Structure 1
Amino acid sequence: MGPTKKSNKGEISIEDHRGKIRLRWRYNGVRYPLNLPYAYTAENMHHATVKIAEIKLDILKGCFDPTLEKYREVPSQSLPIRKPARQKGSPIQQNGSQVDRGNQDDNYPINIKDLLSLFVYWVINIKSVDIENTSYYFNAKRLLEKWKDLPIDDVPEKLNSLKVAPTTYNDRLTCIRGFFAWLFKKGKIPANPLDDVKRRKKRKRLSDKRRPLTETEILLFLDAIKNDTYCPAASQFKHSHYYPFFHFIFQTGVRNAEAIGLRVKHVNLVLRTVEISETFARTKKGTNHSARIRKGTKTENTRYLPLSDELLDMLRVQVKDKQADNFVFLSPKGLSIDDHMLQQRIFKPVMKALGFGDKDLYVARHSYGTRSIEQGIPATSTAYAMGHSTVETVIRNYVAIAKPSTSLAQISKKN
């Protein structure tokens, strides 16, 4: 491993203390040492990494335990690898003699509690995600903690017994299956028990809140926003401030967080394109500016959307006199837009005032997808523009609710 390197001030150092891992750091003027029950080897460094992440997070949250009892660990054996069950009557060598154990085998149960620290390590270091601020991984962690005494072979049955919506079930399945796949790759478990488990099918029913608007309805809404038609006279901030944001999401169909996280450097006025490569995403802490974090797009892809003359003119005004890393769309206070509050305080009231019913902000995206298909744009192009990973998503969500075909493709007869 080599000599221990001195860490920068304020950091937690990893030391070799009599062949074992020891962490040292200073907090509020007090120096803390924490001995871990693991040999100081490269293979055990992930234990130190996980513990450092836990301590740093507690310091940030203001719940650091100065007694260190919260962070001490009981020495644990390395995870056993389960051997295939021995066939009935197979002899086992014991003390130099053959012993027949009948149906007994050498399987060792691996419980979820044996894997919890590895799950945290996997999320933080392999997936590069802040587990405390990402609902997808945080909720999966809470579920695994609830099942801590469950053998991993029983996970499929336990997961299937969850009485949750298909979307929630599929999220937990995908997350835990990915974790198990990593464990299997690293030789920690002999097989992935979730390999053959199928996702639950979602009911193909579009909520009225996201039922697409017609072009006429969209224009009426944008006009009402632009002219402050339904803005209360006593309102401190006018609806028209948000007109560029509404205009952009209806015209491009991008996700809310993608539009909120759009930065000046992503707008190319010369090439007439806008780059969609990151989001300013909400977390379980909320949707306000301080609760959001910068992330990649949902499918971790980058796409470039062409700009119409109208969008180009609008964005030229939005990016004027701003720095490259500034947001294109800002709240009246100069912060990122809170889409939840925008939906509740402006979008929904205006939609109801226009007689369009109770609509979610996401209806802008559904309206774009449907309009794109209706106007004859290929599903592949629509999928690219909307940032979908597969064409099937477009076909499932938008083709079925677009205008029905008025004729069938013909086969011309040869004379």
Structure 2
Amino acid sequence: MHSSSLSRKASKGSVQVKTSNGRLQLVFSYQGKRRYVSLGFDDTVQNRKLADLKARQIELDILSGNFDSTLLKYGLQSVDRAKPLTPVLTPTPAVHPSLAELWEKYTDFKRPGLSPSTLAKDFTKVSRCINLRLPTKSLQDSVAIRDWLVANKTPNAVKRYLTQFSACCDWATKSQLISHNPFKGMAADIKVPKGDLEDTDINPFSLEERDRIIQAFKSDRYYRVYAPFIEFLFMTGCRPSEAVALQWQYISEDFRSIRFEQAVVVSESGLVCKKGLKTQRKRTFPVNSQLAALLSSIKPEVATSETKVFPSPEGTWIDVHNLTNRAWRSVLSKLDGIEYRKLYQARHTFITAALETAITMPDGRFKMLDAKDVAKLVGTSPKMIYEHYAGKSRELFVPEF
């Protein structure tokens, strides 16, 4: 029989974690009565973390006078000492669906309106967590599920999972599959530290670093085939998925403009090309002389409208995930003095440089691109540019007037 760090000599209000028939149990005394509480979970390392959380919660409630003797607050049920110490969590009736079953039905309902990448990444990740990670799938154990997430995931991940579980159960309630949403309001209680927020990882390369990276790809015997693709990302600030999907029909014959109208994303069945972009239906990008020279140099003599501008070595869509793990990591590892950053930083590099670089006008005056103009070039909102780039990229000064 194993026991956790709480299985010590019992003191007033202490809660011990023990096992019975391979299942975890909490044992403690309250008002002179010995209580045996089954968690219903197998004795594993992860489940012991959850048991420790439960034990600490009950201990604190006993000491502070807030203990719920019905155990409903903790999603548990006590065991009569005279009876065998076997798991006694109230079984979910067969007519009541589990969280796994609800999530599968919810996914099928949402599938027609979801992008292939959302299905393949976000919904598959939630499904994997439910089916392979959670210690229980019963909706009656929603508190235990929340506590397990808190013990094993980052606050940001906990908030995302609970938000998805709640959305699923809201749908199930409206669909009359369950009577109420047991996860309602849980996500709001999870506080995410400011440093744990996503989409703020903006750490652009300098222009000197950009040029060294491009040259390194051109010189690499194994990955030089990707050099035009890497250079294109730095020179346009487009998303990698947009560059992968580019075909020659979207580049004007005189190389003066590019139309971004589609993206290659990961789906449940692999890479697929879909119409439309992440935040807009399409956008036009004006080509400067440097970019025009690049496009002219790589265009095949015989190119149909559907010929890929940046095909993989096998002639298929480039798999950005594989390119990052192999080519990008390999090339950057050989460049002294350049800190490794994700491929997506090529986009951040373009945006930052576009905001900081002055343009010489025909009359000799200098002009800086406005954040709204840069937003149009890269297909994002001016608000995003102002919040994450413009405020950080420029020094304040008082003009002469």
For this structure pair, what is the TM-score category when the shorter chain's length is used for normalisation? 0.5 to 0.7
CA offsets per residue over residues 52-110 of structure 1, 9 Å max, x none? xxxxxxxxxxxxxxxxxxxxxxxxxxxxxxxxxxxxxxxxxxxxxxxxxxxxxxxx998
Distance in 1 (alpha carbons) for counterparts of 2:263 and 2:120: 13
1:115 and 2:102 matched: yes
Distance in 2 (alpha carbons) for counterparts of 1:205 and 1:193: 22
Q: 2:343 aligns with which of 358, 361, 378?
A: 361
Equivalent runs, 1:8-157 vs 2, <5 Å? 112=99, 115-127=102-114, 129=116, 134-145=120-131, 146=134, 148-151=137-140, 157=146
Corresponding residue of 1:251: 235
Mind listing any 5+ residue stretches in structure 1 that lack a counterpart? 1-107, 286-290
Instruction: Identify if the C-alpha distance between structure 1 residues 379 and 180 changes in structure 2 by more than 3 Å, giving closer, same or farther.
Output: farther
8 Å contact from structure 1 (residues 250, 364) kept in 2: yes
Mind listing any 5+ residue stretches in structure 2 that lack a counterpart? 1-94, 358-367
Distance in 2 (alpha carbons) for counterparts of 1:337 and 1:142: 26
Instruction: Identify if the C-alpha distance between structure 1 residues 333 and 157 changes in structure 2 by more than 3 Å, giving closer, same or farther.
Output: closer
Corresponding residue of 1:294: 273
AA at the equivalent of 2:110: V
Corresponding residue of 1:338: 319
Distance in 1 (alpha carbons) for counterparts of 2:138 and 2:392: 46
Distance in 2 (alpha carbons) for counterparts of 1:384 and 1:170: 32
Q: How big is the shift at 1:343?
A: 3.4
Q: How big is the shift at 1:391?
A: 3.6
1:215 and 2:207 matched: yes
Distance in 2 (alpha carbons) for counterparts of 1:262 and 1:120: 30
Distance in 2 (alpha carbons) for counterparts of 1:165 and 1:206: 12
8 Å contact from structure 2 (residues 248, 305) kept in 1: yes
Equivalent runs, 1:255-334 vs 2, <5 Å? 255-269=239-253, 272-282=256-266, 291-295=270-274, 296-299=276-279, 301-320=281-300, 321-334=302-315
CA offsets per residue over residues 180-222 of structure 1, 9 Å max, x none? 5655666767679259827735417999x96322122222332
The TM-score normalised by the length of structure 2 is 0.57
8 Å contact from structure 2 (residues 203, 348) kept in 1: yes
Distance in 2 (alpha carbons) for counterparts of 1:271 and 1:186: 53
Corresponding residue of 1:16: none
Distance in 2 (alpha carbons) for counterparts of 1:304 and 1:176: 39
Q: How big is the shift at 1:259?
A: 1.3
Distance in 1 (alpha carbons) for counterparts of 2:369 and 2:196: 23
CA offsets per residue over residues 276-335 of structure 1, 9 Å max, x none? 2332224688xxxxx423345333643222211222333244444223223210223323
Count the aligned residue pairs: 288
8 Å contact from structure 1 (residues 119, 141) kept in 2: no
CA offsets per residue over residues 8-58 of structure 1, 9 Å max, x none? xxxxxxxxxxxxxxxxxxxxxxxxxxxxxxxxxxxxxxxxxxxxxxxxxxx
The TM-score normalised by the length of structure 1 is 0.56
1:374 and 2:382 matched: no
Corresponding residue of 1:347: 328
Corresponding residue of 2:6: none
Seq. identity, %? 20
8 Å contact from structure 1 (residues 277, 297) kept in 2: yes
AA at the equivalent of 2:251: V
Instruction: Identify if the C-alpha distance between structure 1 residues 114 and 212 changes in structure 2 by more than 3 Å, giving closer, same or farther.
Output: closer
8 Å contact from structure 2 (residues 214, 230) kept in 1: yes
Distance in 2 (alpha carbons) for counterparts of 1:167 and 1:297: 26
CA RMSD of aligned residues (A): 4.2
Q: How big is the shift at 1:119?
A: 1.1
8 Å contact from structure 2 (residues 233, 243) kept in 1: yes
AA at the equivalent of 2:309: V
Instruction: Give the SS at the match of 2:126.
Output: helix
AA at the equivalent of 1:404: E
Distance in 2 (alpha carbons) for counterparts of 1:314 and 1:173: 47
AA at the equivalent of 1:351: L
